[in-house]
Amino acid sequence: MKGTERRKAILDWLDQERTLSLAQIVERFKISKMTVHRDLDALELRSALKRIHGGVVAIERSSGLASSPQGGTGQGNCVVCFRPASQHLLYSLTLNNGEQRVACCPHCGVSAHLVLGDQVAMALTADYLTGRPHPARGSYFVLGSAATPCCRPSMLTFEDIEMARRFQTGFGGSVGQLEDAIKYLQEEMSLHRDGENCPHCAAMARRE
């Protein structure tokens, strides 16, 4: 496969998956890491995608994607509660076998971490203010604030700790990182173990 064809193939694939890890691209095209880096550099220069640590994410071309009724072909529905995922709250997980899972918000994303455990190779979460995806490890989580755009208890993620703190000043809650969010959710879940009206508890119960 020629370089130009391969770059086009990478873009088509990324269009479906929304995020890809470097390892996935190496594996699929049987090319060296160096070649992947060169391809991705070239594509990023054309603003065709955005590189992140360990992978790439698709750039949103239309804003209507998340709210369109046939959203299943784009970002898809939440793996935990089946709500449609929207860009500013999107949390996506790449599993060790290369499969993708999306969650409607960091709350469900962290629930998915709890369920999938070591199968998670990489997770991306959107910055609540800009919608920009960035690695969940290293993101700042505002936990249990009064702002609940999606699931309860609220969990929102910020790329920048300063923004997370400002948000916390206005809406309350606590600021932490991924480990804190996981702990927080575990505690919440043990509080209402059989809360049937809680989507993530219900989803967990179904898996057991």
Half-sphere exposure of 93 (CA within 13 A, CB side): 27
Q: How far is the CB of 50 from Zn ion (least distance, A)?
A: 23
Q: How far is the CB of 36 from Zn ion (least distance, A)?
A: 32
Give the interface segment with Zn ion, choosing from 9-17, 22-30, 77-85, 117-125 (CB under 5 A).
77-85
Q: How far is the CB of 148 from Zn ion (least distance, A)?
A: 9
Decide: is 105 part of the binding site for Zn ion (CB under 5 A). yes
Binding residue (CB under 5 A) for Zn ion from 36, 102, 151, 198: 151
Cα–Cα distance, 158 to 164 (Å, whole number): 6
Decide: is 198 part of the binding site for Zn ion (CB under 5 A). no
Buried b (16+ CB within 10 A) or exposed e, 41-61: eebeeeebbbebeebbbbebe
CA distances 85 to 73, 108, 133, 183, 188, Å, are 12, 10, 13, 23, 22
Residue closer to Zn ion (CB basis): 56 or 80: 80
Half-sphere exposure of 188 (CA within 13 A, CB side): 22
Binding residue (CB under 5 A) for Zn ion from 81, 121, 178, 185: 81
Decide: is 78 part of the binding site for Zn ion (CB under 5 A). yes
Q: How far is the CB of 180 from Zn ion (least distance, A)?
A: 18
